[in-house]
Amino acid sequence: QKEVEQNSGPLSVPEGAIASLNCTYSDRGSQSFFWYRQYSGKSPELIMFIYSNGDKEDGRFTAQLNKASQYVSLLIRDSQPSDSATYLCAVQNSGGSNYKLTFGKGTLLTVNP
Amino acid sequence: GAVVSQHPSWVICKSGTSVKIECRSLDFQATTMFWYRQFPKQSLMLMATSNEGSKATYEQGVEKDKFLINHASLTLSTLTVTSAHPEDSSFYICSTAPLAKNIQYFGAGTRLSVL
C-alpha cells in the first residue's frame, strides 16, 4: 500500500511569515513529487514539482526533496492571506507509462492578516 | 499550465438516474485521463485511469459497471455514474497530462448531488 502522509493541520501563520508544509511517502520507487493547492470547493492547482534531491525555487515557493528520508516539503515565503488553502502533496511512481498520483490528505493552511 | 475543461460543474439528479460528466483537454492530446472522487474534507481518491481506444483501468473497490468510462478520442473522456444513489454524491474531478509528460492538470470538477 503506497502511502503519502501529511499533517492535516490547520497550520496557522501570520501574514509575511514562512509557512512550512511537510510530506512523507512510503514507496521508495517514487520518482516525481508534486504540490497542489486546493481552495475550498475548487479543484487542485499545480504549484510545484520536483524530481531531484535538493531545493527547487519558484517565486515565493521552494520545494525540498530528500529521497533518502522519503521526505518532501514546501516552503512559502512572505505568506499572504490568498495563500490560505489546503495543500496536497502528491507522489508518482513513473515506472513504465503509469503516471498515477497518490495524494496525501492535505494540510490546511491559514494565513492571518 | 494546460487547459482541461470539465462539464458540468454542478449537477443535481434524482436517485436512480444516470449522470454523464465530460472531460476535455483543450490544448493538447491526451492518451490517458484520470478520474478522481473527493468527499468533504477528504483527499482525492483515484477511481480509474481512462485510456484512449481501450478499456479503462479501475482502482480496487470501484465498480466498473456503475462508473462507466469512455475515452473515444485523444481530447475527450466521459464518466457516467449509472443508477446514482445519495452515497454517490461527491466532487468528481478529472485530470490529464500532455503526451509524454507526467504533470497532471485538473479540470474544475463536477459536484454531484443525488437526491
Predicted pLDDT of residue A56: 96
Sheet holding A71-76, edge to edge: A4-6, A19-25, A71-76, A61-66, A54-58
Question: Once rounded to an integer, what is the mean pLDDT over residues B3-28?
Answer: 94
CB B7 within 8 A of CB B109: no
Model confidence at A96, pLDDT cuts 50, 70, 90, reads low
A94 pLDDT more than 70: no
DSSP letters, B7-61, are E-SEEEE-TT--EEEEEEESSS--SEEEEEEE-TT---EEEEEEETTS--EEPTT
Please report residues of B whose CB lies closer than 8 A to that of A97.
Answer: 32
CB crowding B60-80: b at 16 or more within 10 Å, else e: eebeeeebbbebeebbbbbbe
In a 3-state reduction of DSSP, which class is residue A78? coil
User: Which residues 7-36 on chain A approach chain B with CB closer than 8 angstroms?
Assistant: 32, 34, 36
CB A74 within 8 A of CB A35: yes
A23 pLDDT more than 80: yes
Please report residues of A whose CB lies closer than 8 A to that of B2.
Answer: none
Segment A56-91, tens digit of pLDDT: 999 999 999 999 999 999 999 999 999 999 999 999
Q: Does A51 touch chain B (CB under 8 A)?
A: no
**Residue in chain B lying closest to A107 (CA):** B43
For the beta carbon of residue B14, count every other beta carbon within 10 angstroms. Answer: 8
Q: How close is the nearest chain B Cα to the Cα of A22, in Å?
A: 16
Segment A41-54, tens digit of pLDDT: 999 999 999 999 99
Of B43, B49, B102, the CB nearest to A88: B43
